[in-house]
Amino acid sequence: MEDLIFESGAISTITINRPKALNALNRAVLEEITRVLRDVRHDASVRVLIVTGAGDRAFVAGADIAAMADMEIVEGLEFTRLGHRVMHTFEELPIPVIAAVNGFALGGGLELALACDLIIASEKARFGQPEINLGIIPGFGGTQRLPHRIGHARARELIMTGEMFDAKSGCEWGLVNKVVAPDQLIPETRKLAEKLASKSGFALRQAKAALRAAATMEEDAGLRFEQNTFGGLFACADKREGMKAFLEKREAKWQHK
């Protein structure tokens, strides 16, 4: 599908490719993302996933307004459910997912970035939940994930005013991990992806699951989840190898199990 480019490898990349519509997400793109994520999930050779937008203007400027304009209630509900499924699938992928935000990340675009584990942003990136200006509210998870990530006060202001913010503010608020010059976005994102790919894939998977628990569980349950996960790792090859390598002062050779 030409609206989505998937480059497969140990570090795989999904590029939303509708630059003329600033990479807006329509049903077809969301369904194609679902299909690609299913393949990624079942391919043990993929260690890190990068998500970005084609062109130099937008990551994703939101859900496709032209497509939503004629939707009635049933289609609207189906569309939000599809979007939620896609964002949930990103969150539930067992590998780290990095959003490389090259430009506008608005509405569904910010919601897509929020479903990723890490965000690297170009100095040109602009974020926001402008749905209020269309007479709607965020529909791919923004009302829940944004306050979790940047706090209720700021999320309320952003969702109620629809105002945009820049990458520097996103970094100060704990949304963005790093801001880089536009021409450094892909090199810096790949550098981070390579660093992650050099770790034990199995330990990373457990770290991601435990970090997810911090967002989805009560603290007591999350702390128990961490204990059980930590304990479980002591049965695994990479824990034995990692500690042995440290004590022998050499690089670990991970088996990813």
Tokens at 173, concatenated = 């608020």
Q: Which of 32, 111, 172, 194 is catalytic?
A: 111
Contact 171, 145 (CB under 8 A): no
Report if residue 106 touches ligand CAA, rule: CB under 6 A: yes
CB of 180 to ligand CAA, least distance (A): 21
Scan residues 12-31 and list those touching ligand CAA (CB under 6 A). 21-22, 24
Look at residues 116, 109, 103, 14 and name the one whose alpha carbon lies nearest to residue 65: 109
Residues 6+ apart with CB under 8 A from 191: none
DSSP code of residue 133: G
Closer residue to ligand CAA, CB minimum distance, 57 or 256 = 57
Tokens at 224, concatenated = 């128990």
Exposure string over 226-237, b if 16+ CB within 10 A, otherwise e? beebeeebeebe
Scan residues 54-83 and list those touching ligand CAA (CB under 6 A). 61-66, 83
Contact 59, 103 (CB under 8 A): yes
Active-site residue flag, 131:
yes
Active-site residue flag, 111:
yes
Closer residue to ligand CAA, CB minimum distance, 111 or 238 = 111
CB of 39 to ligand CAA, least distance (A): 24
Report if residue 53 touches ligand CAA, rule: CB under 6 A: no
Q: What are phi and psi of 90, to 5 degrees?
A: -60, -50
Q: How many residues bind ligand CAA (CB under 6 A)?
A: 22
Report if residue 3 touches ligand CAA, rule: CB under 6 A: no
Look at residues 184, 193, 190 and name the one whose alpha carbon lies nearest to residue 125: 184
Give the Cα separation of 59 and 257 in Å (integer). 34
The closest residue (CB) to ligand CAA is: 107
Q: Which of 131, 194, 218, 241 is catalytic?
A: 131
List, in sequence order, every residue forming a beta bridge with 25; answer none if it has no partner: 63
Q: Which stretch binds ligand CAA (CB under 6 A): 32-40, 138-146, 186-194, 242-250?
A: 138-146
CB of 152 to ligand CAA, least distance (A): 19
Report if residue 107 touches ligand CAA, rule: CB under 6 A: yes
> Applying CB under 6 A, which residues contact ligand CAA?
21-22, 24, 61-66, 83, 104, 106-108, 111, 130-131, 134, 138-140, 142
| Catalytic (active-site) positions | 111, 131
